[in-house]
Amino acid sequence: MWGHIWGHESAFSDAPSKNAPMPLTKLECDRATCPTGKPYARLADGLGMYLEVTAAGGKYWRMKYRHAGKEKRLALGVYPEISLADARKRRDKARETLAAGDDPGQLKREAKLARVLMGANTFEKVARQWWDQWKGPKSQHHADYGIRRLEADVCPVLGSRPVDTITAPQLLAMAKRIESRGAVDIAKRSLQTCGQIMRFAVAHGLIERNPGADVRPSDALKPREKENYARLDAREMPELLRKIEAYAGTPYTRLAMKLMALTFVRTGELIGARWAEFDLGAAEWRIPPERMKMRTPHIVPLAPQAVEVLQALQTLSGGRALLFPGERDHERPMSNNTILAALKRMGYAGRMTGHGFRGVASTILHEQGYPHHVIELQLAHQERDQVAAAYNHATYLRERRAMMAAWADHLDRMRKGADVIPMPQRAA
């Protein structure tokens, strides 16, 4: 067997020789060992390829060749992970590269470097760089939600891919995967977020163009079905208000429902409320833009009844930052489902939601002649134009304050009186 290597330098020539040894066999490869006292042994297979066996027992495929007048060696893999047949295929490919005038060893090193560079710019790494910059002005809750969505839905599909290899169809496939489980909104937002990440990559010279620009959610995903939040008829409100007043659950939940009825803000805006947002002396609640759906500030005039609810909450809060802290973690707000669960407990499952208070208020206020634009401003249904919205949040404040006071009085009369009590008509 050792005649394959010892004394047969022709075994490493670029061309076949009549003196070249017989090709190796699998059995010879399996049995090959390094002689005692030697650092390695080399078993030639022909056409420059050989199996190098080290004193430690490792077996490595190598190819000896010449390029530009210099003798070089090329690593072809480790035996037996790379079989004899596969090693010969790699040798033959390297010889084709040589025949074309290129150095197979240099091309291999360049390919390895390219893989390293691409690995440093995977989609996930770029996404986290984008998120680190994007989260700056956002609330902690909003920032945490953004990264959770990336980790849960986007990165498992695209995360390991080099960012410069991602295509529009791949982005669409990711969004379609989310859509398939019924999460249409999340699919749409994920696609939009990917577009932002890709714009970030363009700006930092990582890619030349944004593939997200070729995929619009409206063109690729199912249209979002309009949400119809369950809500009671106005005739059923007196009974609900009385049940809220007598609610036997936690005081935080009872007061949350009372404040929601009095202010008809969104559930997320309510449960995330912080004492720093309130001026009880001025009877105002100023919600910062990062907590609003439309990302613009919002003023909620507080009727005396709402101030009373807030004063009761102050006795419970114990100096905490949140009005409605979570039961287990007081640094996080109560769950979105808390109010929904309470309504279910009172017998309103499928009939009323936290959002339903907004619908009831809008219906009654419109029926009683309050101007549409005043009601819409109080519901924070603002213009998409950011400048206009930022201006409008403080407009018609006097009219809104009067409307909210009348609304609170109307709720009191409904709770105390008959099943149906007309709200006083607004003066012309």
354 Rama class: left (phi>0) / alpha (psi -120 to 50) / beta: alpha
What's 2-106's CATH class?
A: alpha beta
pLDDT at 52: 96
pLDDT at 18: 53
**Active-site pick, 266, 393, 400, 415:** 266
Give just the sign of the alpha carbon dihedral 102, 103, 104, 110. Answer: negative
**Active-site pick, 62, 355, 393, 410:** 355
Residues of the chain with CATH 1.10.150.130: 123-220
User: Is 381 annotated as catalytic?
Assistant: yes
Rg (CA), the chain: 36
Determine the Cα–Cα distance for residues 180 and 9; give it in Å rounded to an integer: 64
pLDDT at 1: 40
The structure's pTM equals 0.49
**Active-site pick, 88, 254, 298, 358:** 358
C-beta of residue 371 within 8 angstroms of C-beta of residue 201: no
pLDDT at 94: 95
Pairing of strands 284-287, 278-279: antiparallel
Q: How many whole angstroms from its chain centre is CA 274?
A: 26
pLDDT at 186: 84
Among residues 153, 133, 154, the alpha carbon closest in space to that of 143 is found at 133
User: Is 355 annotated as catalytic?
Assistant: yes
Residues of the chain with CATH 3.30.160.390: 2-106
Determine the Cα–Cα distance for residues 384 and 320; give it in Å rounded to an integer: 34
User: Is 358 annotated as catalytic?
Assistant: yes
123-220 belongs to CATH 1.10.10.10: no
pLDDT at 214: 85
Residue 60: phi and psi, rounded to 5, are -130, 135
**Active-site pick, 73, 332, 381, 413:** 381
**Active-site pick, 216, 366, 391, 416:** 391
Determine the Cα–Cα distance for residues 65 and 72; give it in Å rounded to an integer: 5
Residues of the chain with CATH 1.10.443.10: 234-416
The architecture in CATH of the region 234-416 reads Orthogonal Bundle (1.10)
Instruction: List the chain residues with pLDDT less than 50.
Output: 1-16, 226, 384-390, 419-421, 425-428
| Beta-carbon count within 10 A of 168 CB | 15
Determine the Cα–Cα distance for residues 49 and 225; give it in Å rounded to an integer: 65
pLDDT at 110: 77
**Active-site pick, 109, 204, 222, 293:** 293
User: Is 266 annotated as catalytic?
Assistant: yes
